[in-house]
Structure 1
Amino acid sequence: MNRRDALARVAIIMGGTVIGADYFLTSCSSPAKDKENATTATKQAPAKEEVFLTPDQVNFLDEVGETILPATKTPGAKAAHVGQFMAVMVRDCYEPKDQKVFLQGITQLDADAKKKTGKSFLESSPAERTTFLTALDKEQQAYSATQPKDAPNHYFRMMKQLTLLGYFTSEVGATQALRYLPVPGRYDGCVPYKKGDKAWATT
């Protein structure tokens, strides 16, 4: 599955545009990354790469992703390392304003979980996590539907989009959750489909 097809599928699932899509399609050359590269290029020795998210934050995002796409008969989002995927994509592909919202969202999500359940997100049971994120998803959908043009994006919309994009473009997502044919053969314009068949990762 190429990058453009993956973004189109995520947009269909989410019912709207994918945040950062313009930069995903141009090799993730965001204004923040361009500025960083320009600064680094003027130095004689490259600086040590700054850690955008801590290991604990990456682990937290893995758990959020796993709640969105849990393991069933196929591996879940954690097996695809979506937390690390989010860290790279937000750092390299999001505009500074969206990076700020995303980072604040990690703290906000955990704080809201404590208000709802009396426990942190990681301390909550799988059922409690699912109930909480389902309500949060409804909140972001309502917000996004009436979002003014210049208003910040909802942090959970970013997390959900990146979970879907990271999972279905990963090896486990493409080869186990979807049907994958490394070297496609002839073109078949009409393939029989029966209910329950996996979608194709390759076309």
Structure 2
Amino acid sequence: MNRREAIAKVAWIMGGAVIGAELFLSTGCSSSQNSNDGLFNADQVRLLEEIAETILPETTTPGARAAGVGAFIALMVKDCYAREDQAVFTKGLSTLENKFKEQYGQSFMSSDQAKRTNFLTALDREQKEFSRVKKPDEPNHYFSMMKQLTLLGFFTSEVGATQALRYLPVPGKFDGCIPYKKGDRAWAL
């Protein structure tokens, strides 16, 4: 291969990459927080938001709702979970709502904070027992997935990292021995 052929082939490859990228961008291939491709509807995302807010409520710091954790959970389940885990999660979301209606005679969304907290506390005990006795090849409990995604979504959000954790935008020197007082917030990374 001579120099001219090499330049022509490189130009052909680069032109294809540029045209391919332009085609990809112009066909509307974009991700959106509100786009779930049918896995979750808007009511389910609002339910996830309320579940997350019950797990991490607003106190002196913002809660999960302020961080938009419901949409985060829906996006993570859609984009990152295997089909089997997606099925467990979506079935679990329906199970949660049905069990709540059986126990309290109303939907999770229309109930008060005390009922939500009591229900999720009992569900947490259930998932801990399930995790203790489950076999390695069994899927995780759906509420375990909800809790993990709530914590991940909140503490990796701007709200969680800057207002719930101690945050130093430009860290100084490394000090491996910082005094800790009971009640101090953890540091954001």
CA root-mean-square deviation: 1.7
The secondary structure found in structure 2 opposite 1:166 is helix
Q: Distance in 1 between matches of 2:138 and 2:131?
A: 10
1:111-190 superposed matches below 5 A? 111-190=98-177
Q: What letter matches 1:84 in structure 2? A: A
The secondary structure found in structure 2 opposite 1:152 is coil
Q: Distance in 2 between matches of 1:118 and 1:55?
A: 23
Q: Distance in 1 between matches of 2:139 and 2:169?
A: 40
1:190-201 superposed matches below 5 A? 190-201=177-188
Q: Percent identity?
A: 59
**What residue is the counterpart of 1:42 in the other structure?**
none
The secondary structure found in structure 1 opposite 2:65 is helix
**What residue is the counterpart of 1:81 in the other structure?**
68
Runs of 4+ in structure 1 over 6 Å off: 46-49
- Cα distance, 1:173 vs structure 2: 0.5
Deviations 1:145-197 (A, max 9, x none): 11112222211110010000100001110011101111111010111111111
The secondary structure found in structure 2 opposite 1:104 is helix
Deviations 1:50-103 (A, max 9, x none): 243211111110000000000000000111111111111111111110000111
Alignment: residue pair count: 159
Normalised by the length of structure 1, the TM-score is 0.74
Q: Structure with the greater relative contact order (CA < 8 A, sep ≥ 6): 1 or 2?
A: 1
**What residue is the counterpart of 1:6 in the other structure?**
none
**What residue is the counterpart of 2:54 in the other structure?**
67
Normalised by the length of structure 2, the TM-score is 0.80
The secondary structure found in structure 2 opposite 1:56 is helix
5+ unaligned residues in a row in structure 1: which ranges?
Answer: 1-44
Larger Rg over CA atoms? 2
5+ unaligned residues in a row in structure 2: which ranges?
Answer: 1-26
